[in-house]
Structure 1
Amino acid sequence: MGITDLFPGSDGILSLGPANKTELLDLLAAEAARRLDHRKEDILHALLAREKLGSTALGRGVALPHTQLGWLQEPLAILARLERPINYDARDGEPVDLVFLVLWPEAATEGFLPALSGICRALRDNQLPRQLRQAGSAAEALAKLRAADDRSPDALP
């Protein structure tokens, strides 16, 4: 499954205004719950449990909160751009303003790590975070992400 499959054009959120990491995860869980027709609390609990293992901040203002869910049938990914950067416990100390949420079915473990690494691979393009921050629409942001993935030398066929 490539980035194009994970992030269909309608699934980009370009503006969220959380005050902190916990509020961000709550907002993302609520949006995911709405799209999946599931309880927000189940998603939020799983995301918070994953964060307890260590911050999912990647550095350079980007975070990749992710978790696997036993009840989930299909992967869900959401791209969010924050109105103001927030502290996310990143190793580089940079506040986060770009967030890639990935929820994955527990039964499909073989695709989970390749999906996460595909996002990380696309982010190797040093211009991508700047392009995502400047995108005027969700579709434009996702097109930039796909283009970076296509340019990646390690991109999967």
Structure 2
Amino acid sequence: MISSFLKPFTSAVLITALSCSSALALSCETDVSNFEYTDDRPAIFNFGTRADVDKAYSKLAETVGSLDIYPKPTVFFTKGYDKLTQYNCSGDKCSSQDIGEGFSICVASPRSPGESCYPLAVVYNNKMYCLLYPGTGSSDVGTSDGPYIPFAGLNSK
């Protein structure tokens, strides 16, 4: 009798857990004061429109996979908002020098005219930190719905 009661409950818990793990994979830390991936002064980058930045995070969501597969801190760069490069930091945390080296590699890789490289996100200790936001000169930075939230459009689909 108890097992017949637990069977539907177990299925519901499993479905909820799978839904939560999928949602967690598409979230990131956005509060710079909580950026633990570096001992340097952390930075965010404001470039492109909301649509550009959404496209970059969409590509990251398609590519990044499970966060536990990254044994070293890894920086992802967007190239033209629809391509990615990644750089493994040299130490236990990423330094500003690591970000610069990763940027140099992104810029040096083949790209079309107008395909700029920008730091997008860092994976560190199974957590993602989002670095790219719409440009401050853009009217897309915030809307009446509030500030820009990476992956918000993907999680609502």
Taking structure 1 as the reference length, the TM-score comes to 0.31
Q: Which structure would you say has the larger Rg?
A: 2
TM-score (norm 2): 0.31
Q: Higher RCO, 1 or 2 (CA under 8 Å, sep at least 6)?
A: 2
